[in-house]
Amino acid sequence: MTSGQRLKGGGVGRVYLDNNATTALDPRVVHAMQDFFLDAYGNPASRDHAFGWDAAEAVECARGEVAALVNATPHEITFTGSATESINCALKGLAPALSAEGRIVTCVTEHAAVLETSRQISRFRGVPLVMWPVDRTGHIDVAAAAEAVRSVPPGVIAIMAANNEIGTIHSLGAFARIAQESAAVFFSDLTQVVGRIPVDVRADGIDLAAFSAHKLHGPKGVGALYIRAGRGITLEPLIVGGSEERGLRAGTPNVPGIVGFGEACRIARMEMKDEAVRIGRLRDRLESALLADLPDIWVNGDPVNRLPNTTNIGFAGIDGRALIRDMHEIAVSTRSACSSSDERPSHVLKAVGLSDDDARACVRISFGRFNDENEVDYAIDKVRCSVRRLRRNTR
Ligand code: PLP
């Protein structure tokens, strides 16, 4: 099933190439969730009857699937409402300890969820905030970073696994080592990698991590917070009330959503390896066709170490938003969905050294499970025609 079929009921019409913003639910995920809306609607915290026991069992089964996908143990996973909530839980939960001990160190190209949470902690708690720069490909200079923490030890280092706009993949192990050597907590935003490329929180030395179901063909409104066991990390809960999620996230959990998250993780664990290759081919097919046919275009980010499903292409002399409007059947974006109403050029593209005009000339195209070659060829044609038309009109 292609994204065009899902939207139009057959054939290529509208094509969804914005899978870094969110993904379509996999029908197998919908199937797994259905019972938990209509029949097994118990509250997992209800210990007195079978409805509660069934819901609790389903939640624990899903927790096992989510943990397995990132090589964690089930009790290291806490369910939340989104990756944004998990990021807030992790960083704000650490903040009381940080005020006394150290600063927050992060990177200029992080998602707004990390940047704004860090800024808020810094504003309200007086915790110093340090932002590491990146080079043209979106990478942090690891040697400079190691040197910087030697003189001023951090309390927490927050580095994303892969950038949501340009796809650059950071070498998390290197930052985990820097954190370890300076006795800092290492947090990573895994939102764009879980279910797309292999993730091993243990091998990468991650202490805290956040991700969500809707980026891997699971439902919206459910996220996960990973807290490494045995490191003595205690978080001050963001949401208090009952003892759900071991008191870390009070409130009746979203059982159908959690079941869907578990199923999405199970499917990703089975299919991710082959899917990454197939999706990478789709991305390369589009990129090479456009680079061959259109002059004055470029690809942002690291050409090698990047997400297989992501490309970010600049079209000189064109406004990315005008291009998106012109080829309205093709759903792509200029940046992350939550900042897409921002008129300023992308902070990620500015950070990799683009001028305002060049940053505004870029479009992010991100592929997913339901895209196929027909859709990609259709998109290539649309982009080509729109770019030529817009360039003709501005001459
Ligand atoms: N972090 C990254 C890297 C993202 O791409 C996103 C969503 O676009 C988020 C965090 C926020 O995820 P959620 O929508 O689950 O809050």
DSSP string, 149-187: HHHS-EEEEE--SB-TTT-BBP-HHHHHHHHHHTT-EEE
Distance (Å, rounded) from C-alpha 243 to C-alpha 372? Answer: 45
What is the reported pLDDT for 70? 98
What is the reported pLDDT for 152? 77
What is the reported pLDDT for 53? 97
Q: Which residue minimizes the CA distance to atom 8 of ligand 1?
A: 21
**Which ligand 1 atom minimizes the distance to the CA of 22?**
8
Catalytic-role residue among 61, 107, 265, 338: 338
pLDDT tens-digit readout, 29-86: 999 999 999 999 999 999 999 999 999 999 999 999 999 999 999 999 999 999 999 9
In the reported structure, the alpha carbon of residue 196 is separated from the centroid of ligand 1 by a whole-number distance in angstroms of 14
Mutate to test the pocket of ligand 1, among 215, 307, 364, 366 (most ligand atoms within 8 A of CB): 215
In the reported structure, the alpha carbon of residue 156 is separated from the centroid of ligand 1 by a whole-number distance in angstroms of 20
Q: Is the CB of 336 inside a 6 Å radius of any atom of ligand 1? A: yes
How many residues can be counted in the chain? 395
In the reported structure, the alpha carbon of residue 111 is separated from the centroid of ligand 1 by a whole-number distance in angstroms of 7
The torsion of the CA quartet 20, 25, 26, 28, rounded to 10 degrees, works out to: 150
What is the reported pLDDT for 159? 98
Positions of the chain with pLDDT under 50: 7-10
Q: Which residue minimizes the CA distance to atom 7 of ligand 1?
A: 21
What is the reported pLDDT for 8? 45
Provide the 10 A C-beta neighbour count for residue 197: 16
Tell me the whole-structure pTM to 2 decimals.
0.96
Q: Is the CB of 366 inside a 6 Å radius of any atom of ligand 1? A: no
Structure tokens belonging to residue 340 = 């897409």
C-beta of residue 279 within 8 angstroms of C-beta of residue 309: yes
Distance (Å, rounded) from C-alpha 347 to C-alpha 300? Answer: 13
Q: 11: which DSSP letter?
A: S
Residue type, 76: E
107 in active site: no
**Secondary structure of residue 124 in the 3-state scheme:** helix
- Strand 223-227 to strand 208-212: parallel, antiparallel, or no bridges (unpaired)? antiparallel
What phi-psi label fits residue 26: left (phi over 0), alpha (psi between -120 and 50 degrees) or beta? beta
Q: Is the CB of 83 inside a 6 Å radius of any atom of ligand 1? A: yes
**Which ligand 1 atom minimizes the distance to the CA of 211?**
15
In the reported structure, the alpha carbon of residue 83 is separated from the centroid of ligand 1 by a whole-number distance in angstroms of 6
In the reported structure, the alpha carbon of residue 395 is separated from the centroid of ligand 1 by a whole-number distance in angstroms of 38
**Which ligand 1 atom minimizes the distance to the CA of 338?**
8
What is the reported pLDDT for 149? 87
The torsion of the CA quartet 283, 285, 288, 292, rounded to 10 degrees, works out to: -140
Q: 333: which DSSP letter?
A: B
- In the chain the beta strands, taken as DSSP E runs, fall at 15-16, 77-80, 103-107, 129-132, 154-158, 185-189, 208-212, 223-227, 297-299, 310-315, 330-331, 362-366
Residue type, 24: A
Q: Is the CB of 192 inside a 6 Å radius of any atom of ligand 1? A: yes
pLDDT tens-digit readout, 173-198: 999 999 999 999 999 999 999 999 99
- Select from 98, 52, 93, 83 the least CA-distant residue to 244: 52
Residue 204 neighbours by CB under 8 Å, 6+ apart: 172, 173, 176, 188
